[in-house]
Structure 1
Amino acid sequence: MKQAEAEASQASFSPKRHIIQTASLTLSVENIDEKVNALSSLVEGYGGYVKSNNRYTEKRANLNIKIPSSKLDIFITEISNLGKVTSNSTSSRDVTDQVIDIDARMKNLIVLRARYRELLGKANTVKEVVSIEKELSKIQTEIDTIEGRRKSLLDQVAMSSVNVTFEQKTIYGPLGYIGKGLMWAIGKLFVIK
């Protein structure tokens, strides 16, 4: 019985993990415009949005996408079906400690603000009122800044960032294949592996 209580107590102290996930994929495709449109539709279906869409040349386009983190793995699998994946990377960053620190600072600042408000009600002179209001303004500014930071972190946790680059496949003509084969053969004269 004591072991179950200890485990329950320990579980109540372990915070919910806050993980920011990012992914990056490069795909070789035959028709970039067609794949960009397909990806845009796919993003909407997953409840995400295209944050930026940059077309560098006729042969290269880059999209930065925000997608719900809970759907990231399935989304990446679906994107992989749009072309030949030439590079793929994912990363995650745990920001749980930052969120816990922000929450603790917020609680302390809210208590401090309440104390200053009490003091404001007890102030007897204009000088005291001005001094207390100045401190209240500083505290409120800090609370607003911290709330903004917390919201930003939680937004990044909720919506993963996916960077997708489409590159146009090179289609060789008959002489291109000969040239490519010739370059391969010359390269093998110098390096075997």
Structure 2
Amino acid sequence: MVVRRVTIQIAATDVRAAYLRAAHLLSQAQGEYVQDSALTGSGTQVQANLTLRVAASRLPEVLDQLRGLGKVDSEQAQGEDVTEQVVDTDARLRNEQHVETELLKLLESRQNAPLTEILQLRDKLSEVRNSIERLTAQRERLGGLVDLATVLVIIRPDTEPPPPPPPTNYFVKAISAAWERSLRFLADTVATLLSILVGGIIWWALLVVLIAILVRHRRRRQAE
């Protein structure tokens, strides 16, 4: 038997709205309830605190819903095994109830006993019954802690500033930059083609001159 306690701190854009939503996450059919709550401050100083008693079987579900209320700053979970305490309390309670039964039988059989003896028996019976009440309350408290987990919720304002909006001429600048890059690319391409073309013309001119020289030389030899 484990007692579960969780503390979760949340930063919310609207603390009051998150506070109300957290309180409405509980299921009365499961015996869940708000143990205590407080909403203090105003503006950026507002803060909400709630102590929720949540059915142990629904704890993961409720925690997921709480995380959705805002940005989780921190989350801590603890578990305490109270099995020995429960077993010990049950044993003591049964023993006291047995003593109560024996005292009642003794009083019934000693109706003609001296008054002082009867008063002593009644005093003892009163002590035993007080002990039974304390042990019963302790057992119920332990059972309640096991059945219903305790969730402490702390909600603060999310004061982180939003990202700045883009400048009004952002798209104009982006288009201008893209146009300039395109023009530079086009100019580089044209320059490369021109350099190739000019270089090719020179080589073709040299080839034509060389062919002309060879043709003239051949004609002279034929003429001789």
Residue of structure 2 in register with 1:54 after alignment: 38
Alignment of 1:108-127 (within 5 A): 108-123=95-110, 124-127=113-116
What corresponds to 1:84 in structure 2?
71
For 2:24, the aligned partner's letter is: S
- Measured in 2, the distance between the counterparts of 1:127 and 1:46 equals 53
Q: Counterpart in 2 of 1:43?
A: 26
- Secondary structure of the corresponding residue to residue 67 of structure 1: strand
Q: Which moved more, 1:41-50 or 1:31-40?
A: 41-50
Which segments of 5 or more consecutive residues in structure 2 lack a partner in the other structure? 165-224
| Structure with larger RCO (C-alpha < 8 A, sep 6+) | 1
Residue 7 of structure 2 corresponds to residue 24 of structure 1 = yes
Q: Give the CA RMSD over aligned residues.
A: 2.0
Counterpart in 2 of 1:71? 58
* 1:45 to partner: Cα distance: 7.2
1:110-160 residue CA offsets vs partner (Å, 9 max, x unmatched): 111111112112222222211111111111111111111111111111111
Letter in 2 for 1:145: R
Which one of 128, 139, 147 corresponds to residue 128 of structure 2? 139
Q: Does 1:153 align with 2:137?
A: no
**Superposition TM-score, scaled by structure 2 size:** 0.66
Residue-pair matches, total:
158
Identity fraction in percent: 23
TM-score normalised over the length of structure 1: 0.76
Structure 1: any 5+ residue segments left out of the alignment? 1-17, 176-193
Instruction: Provide runs of 4+ in structure 1 moved above 6 Å.
Output: none
Give the direction of change, closer, same or farther, for the CA distance of 1:36–1:174 in structure 2 (3 Å limit).
closer
